Structure 1
Amino acid sequence: MSAETMGLRESKKQETRQLISDHATRLFLAQGFEQTTIAEIAAAARVAKKTVTNYFPRKEDLALDHHEEFAASLAGVVADRAGGESALAALRRYFLAAVEDRSPVAGFAGYEFAHMIAESPTLTARLRELHDQREEALAEVLAGSGGRNGGQGGGGIAPRAAAALLAAAQRLLFERIQELTLAGRSTDRIAGIVAEEASHVFDLLTPSLGDYASAPGAQSA
C-alpha cells in the first residue's frame, strides 16, 4: 500500500471521527447526554452503530472528545519542561497559557457544554476519572524525572504527593472555570478572574514545591 493511499485512509478516518463527534455533540446539547442514544447518533451521522463504537468505545468519549489529550496534558508539560524549570513552574506556565488561549482542556467550553456536563451524572463521574488519570500520569513522570529534589523512582511517596498537590491545583482551577461559566460570566471575564486566582494558587504551592523536580540544565534567566 502506497504512502498516499495510507494517508487518504487516515484522512478519511479522521473525517468520519469528527463527523460522528459533531453530530453527537449537537444531539447531546439538544437532548441531554443521558437521553441521547448511540443509535440516534449513528443515524444522524449516517453510519452504523458499530462504526460509532469503533471510534468511541465509551459514550462519554463522544462528549469529552479531548479526553486523551486531557489525561496526558500535565505529564507531557512536565516531561518537556525547560532546563532548570521546576514542575510547578512548568505547570503554572502551561495553565496561564491555556487560559490565554481559552483552551477547552483548561475548562473553557461554553455555557451549554458546561451545563450538559453538570446535568449528567455519567459525564461528571467520567470527568473525575479523567482528573484522576491525569494525576496518575503526572506522578509517573515525576517518579522518573531527574533534577533537584526530583524523582525518586520506584514506589517513593514524594512524587505521588507532589502530583496530588499539583494536579489538585489544576483540578480546582478547571472547576472554577466551569463554575464561572455556569454563573453566566463571559469568557473574557472568566479568563481575567481565573488568571489572577491561578497566580495565587500557584504562589501557595511555591514554598513547598518551587524547586521540586527542576529539570537538569541551567536556570532560566
Structure 2
Amino acid sequence: MAEPTGLRELKKQRTRQAISEAAIALFRESGFDRVSVADIAAAAEVSKPTLFAYFPTKEDLVLHRFADHETEAARVVRDRAAGIAPLAALRWHFRDGLDRRDPITGLNDHPEVLAFQRLLYGTPALVSRLHGYLARGEAALAAALAETGTGDDTVAGVAAGQIIATQRILATRNAAEMAAGRSADDAHPGAVARADTAFAILEDGLAARL
C-alpha cells in the first residue's frame, strides 16, 4: 500500500533537513573546503545520489536557507491587502521580521544563527553563489511589481533592484552588530529606525512610480 502524499512529503522534508544539518555541522567543524560530499552523505546516513537529489551542489547545502526566501518579497507584493502600496507592504513585512528576530533580517543573536553567518560570510564560494539567489529574488520582485500596473518593465526592474539592495544593506548591518556582540534586543530599536529611514528614502524616490 502506497504511503499518503502528506506522509511522503514529511519524510522528504525531514531527510532534507537532516542532510543540511549534518553538512553545516561538518562545515563549521572542519571548514567548507575541507569537507567532501562523501563525508556529508556518510554523516547523514544517505547515499551520494540521494544527497544530490535534494541538493544539486555542495553550496546548496548551506544556501537553501536563502532559496527558501528567494521569492518572499514577490509574495509580499502579490499577497498585500487591497489599498496597500507595494513599498508599504514590504516595509511592514521587514519590520515584522525584525520584531520576530527573523534571521533573514540579520537581527538574531542565537548562537546557531551566528555560527551560520560566520560560515556563510567566511566562505568565498558561498558568498559568490549568494549573489545568484539575490538576483533571482530581484527578478521575481520585478515581475510582481510589473503586475501592479506600472506598465513599465524598466521601472519595475529598477525599483526591485533598489528594494533588494536596501534589504540586503539593512540585514548586513544588523548581522555585523550581532557579530560584534550586541544582543538582538539591544540592537532592535536602532534596526527599526534604520529600516524606517531606508524605506522612507525608497518611498520618496519611487512613490510616484509604484
TM-score (norm 2): 0.90
Following TM superposition, by how much is the alpha carbon of 1:108 offset from its aligned partner in structure 2, in angstroms? 4.5
Following TM superposition, by how much is the alpha carbon of 1:118 offset from its aligned partner in structure 2, in angstroms? 1.7
Q: Which SS does the other structure have where 2:68 is aligned?
A: helix
CA contact (8 A) 1:86 1:211 kept: no
Which residue does the alignment assign to 2:158? 161
Aligned-residue Cα RMSD (Å) equals 1.8
CA contact (8 A) 1:108 1:177 kept: yes
The structure 1 residue matched to 2:189, chosen from 192, 197, 202, is 192
Following TM superposition, by how much is the alpha carbon of 1:6 offset from its aligned partner in structure 2, in angstroms? 2.6
**Which structure dedicates a bigger proportion of its chain to helix?**
2
Which residue does the alignment assign to 2:47? 48
CA contact (8 A) 1:88 1:212 kept: no
- Distance in 1 (CA, whole Å) between partners of 2:103 and 2:200 is 24
Which residue does the alignment assign to 2:28? 29
- Distance in 2 (CA, whole Å) between partners of 1:51 and 1:210 is 48
Aligned length: 206
Q: 1:211 to 1:77 in 2, by over 3 A?
A: farther
CA contact (8 A) 2:87 2:203 kept: yes
Which residue does the alignment assign to 1:216? none
Task: Please show how residues 123-142 of structure 1 align to structure 2 within 5 Å.
Answer: 123-142=126-145
- Range 30-39 or range 115-124, more displaced: 30-39
Confirm or deny that 1:101 pairs with 2:100: yes
Q: Which SS does the other structure have where 2:59 is aligned?
A: helix
CA contact (8 A) 1:114 1:181 kept: no
Identity %: 39
- Structure number with the bigger relative contact order (C-alpha 8 A, sep ≥ 6) is 1
Any gaps of 5 or more consecutive residues in structure 2? none
TM-score (norm 1): 0.85
Any gaps of 5 or more consecutive residues in structure 1? 214-221
